[in-house]
Amino acid sequence: MREELLHAIADDFETPSYIFDLESLQERMEMIYRVFGTDISIYYAMKANPFLTKVISPVVDGFEVCSPGEFRICERAGIPMERIVLSGVNKEREDIERILETYGGQGVYTAESLSQIALLQAAAKKLQLVIKVLIRISSGNQFGCDSEAVSSVIHSRNEYPNLIFTGFQYYSGTQKKHLEKVRDELHFLDELIQRFYTEDGFVTHELEYGPGFFVPYFEKEQRVNDEAVMNEFLQLIRGLHYRGHVTLEMGRYIAAGCGFYAVKIVDAKENNGQKYLIVDGGINHLNYYGQTLGMRIPHFLHLSEKRLEMEDRLAPWTVCGSLCTTGDVLVKNMPLRNPQVNDILIFENTGAYSSTESMYLFLSRDMPRIYFYDKDNGLKLMRDTFRTDELNFQG
């Protein structure tokens, strides 16, 4: 969203708030499809921004769902079960059974451990269904099964008559700056898939991979040529021995760019030579992956009514939120020109995780509003502010 556009709608939104630009989301997806075509499926990791679930549904192939809450969101958004991959390291038996009861054998379930496989088998058997399962391969942390465990499952797959193992899921982490790690991971998976074929005659039909492409949040970071990165990745995929279907799980990469977090400056002062701005939001609403104590400067916009003059020089302002803690520093030494009270600061690239990952209940402060923006409907309030004090005290 261009600065002029934000200026134009500045009177229409309240602060603090998130604004999700559906136009840029659409453009993002179009770019992704331009590179990957229809051979590779794109599944939206909705944990990045569940608010977009319904609007993004027409432009993605499916959703990666990781919790009962996320699942309920999909139900409310009308996402059909066959477009859902049900992940989650903690799968409760009751939830699984209920879903199976309602939706039958549609969709795909992931299995993070041997006991999860057993759970899925028991549940499917109880309801006399056959369900599709992807085994999550571990990247070395608490998620997934290590290659030996996977191997043993594949070897004894006939002991799970109610489960069809369609393939594997793999995700090692986010914000990968270089594709070397990706290359190594794909190589590792390729070899495993080969091994399962030669050793056990197991044909892998589906590889669901979370690439964790890099999103540059901060000013000093190198610009990223998205299409080039994705094309390079595509070559890596094409270079594998594996010739089955590939699904990419993406969340941050899809959603980050469409989000703006807007706050209003409510106070400006200088203490002992350091300039401070207080805004009406704070770290209870906003975070950036990789931000340490506000020391990195994210991409931002400064909307002001005051006309810029040549005398308005850049000066470093430490931008703090409204929380009663010295930790509420959004950005240290943000370069701003003559910021005034009532000016609006817009933090860019907050479309992924920022609106869910922060400590929203802290200090019983109100939740930020959420708006959608698109050219035809303009700015639309999708979630009004509400109080959290009722969550922090009952009575």
Least distance from other proteins to the Cβ atom of residue 230, Å: 28
What is the DSSP code (8-state) at residue 137?
B
The reply to whether 4 sits near other proteins by the rule CB under 8 A is no
The reply to whether 11 sits near other proteins by the rule CB under 8 A is yes
The reply to whether 312 sits near other proteins by the rule CB under 8 A is yes
Among 228, 295, 314, 391, binds other proteins (CB under 8 A): 314
Contact range with other proteins by CB under 8 A, out of 56-64, 156-164, 251-259, 305-313: 305-313
Strand positions, DSSP E, the chain: 17-21, 41-45, 62-65, 84-86, 108-111, 131-136, 163-171, 206-210, 245-250, 259-271, 274-279, 300-303, 314-320, 329-337, 344-348, 369-374, 378-383
**Residue 158, amino acid:** N
Among 12, 305, 384, 389, binds other proteins (CB under 8 A): 305
- If the CB atoms of residues 76 and 313 are measured against other proteins, the closer one turns out to be 313
DSSP-assigned states of every residue in 196-264? HHHHH-PPP-EEEEE--B----BTTSPP--HHHHHHHHHHHHHTSS--SEEEEEESHHHHGGGEEEEEE
Among 34, 76, 241, 306, binds other proteins (CB under 8 A): 306
- If the CB atoms of residues 159 and 305 are measured against other proteins, the closer one turns out to be 305
Least distance from other proteins to the Cβ atom of residue 134, Å: 49
| Strand 300-303 versus strand 344-348 pairing type | antiparallel
Contact range with other proteins by CB under 8 A, out of 76-84, 169-177, 304-312, 359-367: 304-312
Least distance from other proteins to the Cβ atom of residue 373, Å: 19
Report the 10 Å Cβ neighbour count for 117.
22
The reply to whether 310 sits near other proteins by the rule CB under 8 A is yes
Assigned token pair, 180: 């070397």
Among 139, 337, 357, 363, binds other proteins (CB under 8 A): 337
| CA dist 305 → 236, 373, 378 (Å) | 49, 22, 21
Assigned token pair, 95: 């939830």
Least distance from other proteins to the Cβ atom of residue 147, Å: 50
Q: Which of residues 255-274 bind other proteins (CB under 8 A)?
A: 270
Q: What is the total count of residues that contact other proteins (CB under 8 A)?
A: 12
Assigned token pair, 93: 């038996």
Least distance from other proteins to the Cβ atom of residue 303, Å: 12
Binding footprint of other proteins on the chain (CB under 8 A): 11, 270, 305-310, 312-314, 337
